[in-house]
Amino acid sequence: MGLFDIKNEIFEDKSVLRETYVPDELPGREEEMYDYRFALEDIKTGDEPNNILVYGETGVGKTVATRRILGALSDAVEDQDDVSFEHVWVNCKDKTSYQATVDTVNELLDFEDRIKGTGHSRSDVLNMLWREIDALDATHVMIVLDEVDSLGTDDSLLYQIPRAKANGHVDTMVGVIGISNNFTFRENISARASSTLKEDEIHFSTYDAPQLQEILSQRAELAFKDGVLDEGLIEYMAAIVAQDTGSARDAIEILRLAGRLARKHQDATVTEEHVREASEQLERVIVEKELYSLPTQYHVLLQSIALLQERGKLPARRKTVYNVYEQVCENIQITPKAQRTIHDKLSQLALKGFLSITEKNKGESGGKYWEYDLEINPETVNEVLDDVDRLSNVREETTLSQFS
Ligand SMILES: Nc1ncnc2c1ncn2[C@@H]1O[C@H](COP(=O)(O)OP(=O)(O)OP(=O)(O)O)[C@@H](O)[C@H]1O
Ligand SMILES: [Mg+2]
């Protein structure tokens, strides 16, 4: 038998479990799709488009619903003489407003004409954008800014697009769809002068267990061979995810990982045991990603706390944490931040679920102090921090005497 003569008894079509797969139906999103259709109806009738703000937690179908609704709208107006509709999709993740504008322009240009992300003034790039929008020769253009909260406070693009026609920059009717999973971002928008975006807000809620069951069944049907999922497995998975994040992404990923595990162990069916292992794998990957993406100062702080943990010194008081933090800063030659800043950062880490903070009373004197403890697996912290260049040698180099 050849090394790769593997019988695939589990998967029928694994590709439907990929993030890029767009299903025909979106179970559990009927209301959201209705609101979305209502918000976009004006394009179909040839009127000015609404600007739409879509928000909700991660993995609740914002992107996939937007892809589906825009596809459906394009189909719907295809035979109409009075309306021609185009959309441009830009992912803003990890971009500045300037870069996002450059990307939008590039989406509209032929590959060989694309511009570089440097060397043009902001207003030049905007002018190019207006020109290319008109060059589409459509009556209606919607610009989708996915993960728009990444732009932070520099989100002027969100306001400039809706005003482009009124300001005489374009002849085309142009609107914007901003997609965000950051609720603070939404609050900030309403606090600002513009009410244009408030008009059509579509909120995507997290999925409950029955909704997740439907989503999982739909995928499992296509992805797996008949009868390989143990009875009640979908219900079990849906319950786990509903209790945790309510994210369809997590649910589908657990389904995929559980299938892989069954294959790896050459088991005939996918079992609850596979699901449990898959969900632990996923949890680890998510925590690692989140840890890795934190800014340097947080990494240094976590490293300090991990060092305390290794030496059995947790829970520790803020003063102790700060002390070790200063040592680590010295080791890697960065300037330590002030105590108060570090206090804020510790609170942030607690909000993210990496640390716990417990308030303690000093007893007789009545004073209070706080104790910090690590809430995630110290091994995960070490693994991630070992990959952070600056910190890779810190653990070996920080000696015990520095803790006394
Ligand atoms: N109702 C649904 N039915 C079927 N699949 C769904 C549904 N909702 C989400 N999904 C799937 O779950 C995954 C995550 O969905 P999506 O990317 O749309 O989430 P999102 O809300 O945009 O998340 P983020 O804020 O992280 O970008 C995708 O693979 C998507 O196809
Ligand atoms: Mg998305």
List pLDDT tens digits, range 133-184.
999 999 999 999 999 988 877 777 888 898 899 899 999 999 999 999 877 7
User: Average pLDDT in the 359-386 region?
Assistant: 85
Lowest mean pLDDT among 24-28, 188-192, 384-388: 188-192
Q: Considering the domain boundaries, does residue 20 fall inside one? A: no
| Ligand 1 within 6 A of CB of 27 | yes
Q: Are 96 and 200 in the same domain? A: yes
Check residue 337 and report its DSSP letter. Answer: P
Q: Are residues 118 and 34 in the same domain?
A: yes
- The SS3 call for residue 297 is helix
Which is more confidently placed, 243 or 402? 243
Considering the domain architecture, whether residues 229 and 197 belong to the same structural domain is answered as: no
Using one digit for the tens of pLDDT, what is the confidence trace for 328-340? 998 888 999 999 9
Contact 307, 374 (CB under 8 A): no
Confidence of residue 9 (pLDDT cuts 50, 70, 90): confident
**pLDDT tens by residue, 32-82:** 999 999 999 999 999 999 999 999 999 999 999 999 999 999 999 999 999
241 lines ligand 1 (CB under 6 A): no
Is residue 348 predicted with pLDDT exceeding 60?
yes
Is it the case that residue 400 has pLDDT exceeding 60? no
How far, in Å, is the centroid of ligand 1 from the Cα of 182? Answer: 16
Domain end (from 234, 259, 291): 291
Amino acid at residue number 30: E
* Distances in whole angstroms, Cα of residue 218 to Cα of each of 17, 27, 71, 149, 241: 11, 9, 20, 31, 16
Mutation pick for ligand 1 pocket among 20, 25, 36, 64 (CB with most ligand atoms within 8 Å): 64
Task: Please indicate whether residue 246, judged by its CB atom, sits closer than 6 Å to ligand 1.
Answer: no
Ligand 2 centroid from CA 93, angstroms: 10
| Per-residue pLDDT at 193 | 42
Could you tell me if 317 and 269 lie in one domain? no
252 C-beta closer than 6 A to ligand 1: yes
pLDDT: is 363 or 111 the higher one? 111
* Per-residue pLDDT, 251: 97
The verdict on the CB of residue 87 being under 6 Å from ligand 1 is: no
Q: Which structural domain range is residue 269 located in?
A: 207-291
| Closest Cα to atom 25 of ligand 1 | 58
Among protein residues, the one whose CA lies closest to atom 9 of ligand 1: 61
Yes or no: say if 353 and 376 are a contact pair by the CB < 8 Å rule.
yes
Q: Say yes or no: CB of residue 58 within 6 Å of ligand 1.
A: yes
Instruction: Return the pLDDT at 397.
Output: 67
What percent of the chain is modeled with pLDDT above 70? 93
Q: Is there a single domain that holds both residue 96 and residue 194?
A: yes
Query: Which of the ligands is closest to the CA of residue 29?
Result: 1
CATH assignment at residue 60: 3.40.50.300
**Known binding-site residue numbers for ATP:** 60-64, 207, 219
303 in ligand 1 pocket by Cβ < 6 Å?
Answer: no
Q: Which residue has the higher pLDDT, 335 or 190?
A: 335
Q: Give 69-77's long-range contacts (Cβ < 8 A, gap of 24+).
A: 69/33, 69/36, 69/37, 69/40, 70/142, 70/144, 71/22, 72/37, 73/40, 73/43, 73/44, 76/44, 77/43, 77/44
Counting ligands in written order, the one closest to the CA of 89 is 2
- Model confidence at 275, pLDDT cuts 50, 70, 90, reads very high
Boundary residue ending a domain (248, 264, 291): 291
Tell me: do 241 and 363 sit in the same domain. Answer: no
| Cβ atoms < 10 Å from Cβ of 133 | 25
What spacing in Å lies between the alpha carbon of 59 and ligand 2's midpoint? 7
Query: Same domain, yes or no, for 40 and 127?
Result: yes
Q: Which residues pair with 72 in a beta bridge?
A: none
402 has a pLDDT exceeding 70: no
Q: Considering every ligand atom, which ligand is closest to the CA of 23?
A: 1
> pLDDT averaged over the chain?
90
Look up residue 264 and give its two tokens. Answer: 């790896």
Decide if 163 is inside a domain.
Answer: yes
Query: What is the tally of structural domains in the chain?
Result: 3
* One domain for residues 272 and 350: no
For 205, the 3-state DSSP assignment is coil
Residue 24 lies in a domain: no
pLDDT at 6 exceeding the cut of 80:
no
pLDDT bucket at 195, cuts 50 / 70 / 90: low
Which residue owns the Cα nearest ligand 1 atom 2? 26
